[in-house]
A = this chain, B = another copy of it.
């Protein structure tokens, strides 16, 4: 019945490309010096290309090579990248090698991204959370070529990605089974890999890199920079949220607020008798500030999106806690981690740059298109969730027989940011950015409807208890300090909100402001963390004040 047509056009195109490159390949292996020529043969103009740019790990050799190809030969690429991190990620747009981008996060390059969008150098497909972007690799962003990074590759082409496995498996799977070309940069070619993270069957081309891939210690927070205000907020959160809701599983954002909580568990948490009662299970990167809580027996399990520089030996020595392979190194996995972060946790705790009077928050500020990363995925209430936990269920509305629980989504902010600007505003800068960048929707990180608690140095607003938007606004005003939003609060309303448990001040929670001292932290310096780890944690040089 059907007309005669080819059903193998992708396979044939791949085969043709590999044949064109055959003289540069010895089996799957190529020479470092041939990388540019190879990419010119294996990537066609207008291809969809995934360039691995994890939060931490960067396919930095391949991104440099991609920026060196001849735009006459390769142009108009549609790039798909979870993280825009390196200058050449954007150079390829200036050079005309690429013209369209679908991405998740652009932290370090967010200003330049904004400019490129404004001047039309870069067409943005869309901005995603990590998990959405991975999901689309199997639906409507199926790649023609993927460029990824491995630690070690054996003679057959099996990949070892070790601690920084991160997003490599999900990217490779999307190409390997849809006749895409999988190109790997390798730090090292070895006879035998410590373990196989990705089978050689899934790999087409391996190129030894000229230097090891870039790897950043993104989630290391020096305890020395934690302020007493942050300690006060941490104490409030532990009493007023972790304890109150009986939270068992959690993701922490990457700020000093949550680092403070991690360092308060073994001291303040212990005083409260909470050890063994709260937060045994974590989905989080292996941040060094977790070490004292782990060593004190607070934590049963940690699954991680990615690795963290300096934590390798410590993780290897704690396989009861971390996900560790038979070879002794961690297996991280950003796709499964985001899946767990969305669907399996009681609580997400994050921070932000602006919160509007309704409770919407964003890290997008004027002139910076920073993207979303993973926060909106973890900091949202997945309405498909059907299993229940005590914490989730504690947010169930009383008055609805068909009601269900909700994920705790907590924002912790000081009322004024480090730039002395108010965090609480009437309108988010994101509303302006939407217009400038011609985005379909305002780039809100976490919507008011998903936000269940806000913690400031003033107190906690239990937003999930509010019955109306007016009441929600009043609760936010009550903890917004002397920001313009906060100044609208009055004593009578505050008293009423406190009486009804919608707002709690430190004294309502039994938290003593006087106790909020740096001496309450289980570790006050990087050196303390090293000591807690019995010397197993090895901080990167920039975090070392000693030699």
Contacts and interface: CB of A to CB of B under 8 A. Distances in A.
Contact of A7 (B128, B200, B321, B401): B321
Contacts of A377: 384
A325 B296 CA distance: 47
A450 B281 CA distance: 30
A527 interface: no
Contacts of A337: 138
A459 interface: no
Interface stretch (A91-99, A115-123, A439-447, A473-481): A439-447
A388 B532 contact: no
Nearest to A250: B139
B196 A396 contact: no
A174 to B, nearest CB: 8
Contact of A135 (B7, B342, B379): B342
A333 interface: yes
A402 B139 contact: no
Contacts of A325: 176-177, 201
A319 B8 contact: yes
Contact of A129 (B8, B196, B386): B386
A19 to B, nearest CB: 15
Nearest to A6: B320
A132 B340 CA distance: 8
Most B CB contacts (10 A, CB to CB) among A9, A135, A136 go to A135
Report the copy number of this chain in the oligomer: 2
A339 interface: yes
A31 interface: no
A158 interface: yes
Contacts of A331: 173, 176-177
Interface in A468-501: none
Interface string A311-347: 0000001111101111000110101110110111100
Contacts of A134: 336, 339
Contacts of A339: 131, 134-135, 138, 335, 339
Contact of A442 (B170, B378, B401): B401
Interface string A5-22: 111111100000000000
Q: Which bucket holds chain A's interface residue count?
A: 35 or more
A178 interface: yes
Interface in A367-409: 372, 376-388, 393, 396, 401-405
A37 interface: no
Most chain-B Cβ atoms within 10 A of its Cβ — which of A6, A139, A444?
A139
A132 B382 CA distance: 10
A179, A383, A444, A531 — most chain B CB neighbours (10 Å): A383
A431 interface: yes
Given A138-B344, A177-B331, A383 B384 contact: no
B326 A138 contact: no
B388 A440 contact: yes
Contacts of A376: 384, 386
A71 to B, nearest CB: 28
A126 interface: yes
A298 to B, nearest CB: 11
A124 to B, nearest CB: 10
Contact of A177 (B7, B295, B324, B384): B324
Interface in A159-200: 170, 173, 176-179, 195-197, 199-200
A541 interface: no
A132 B199 contact: no
A228 B284 CA distance: 53
A48 to B, nearest CB: 12
29 contacts: A2-B532, A7-B317, A7-B318, A11-B319, A126-B388, A128-B387, A129-B386, A131-B339, A133-B387, A135-B342, A138-B283, A138-B323, A138-B340, A139-B249, A173-B333, A177-B325, A178-B324, A179-B324, A201-B325, A335-B339, A376-B384, A377-B384, A380-B384, A383-B447, A383-B449, A383-B450, A393-B441, A402-B431, A405-B440
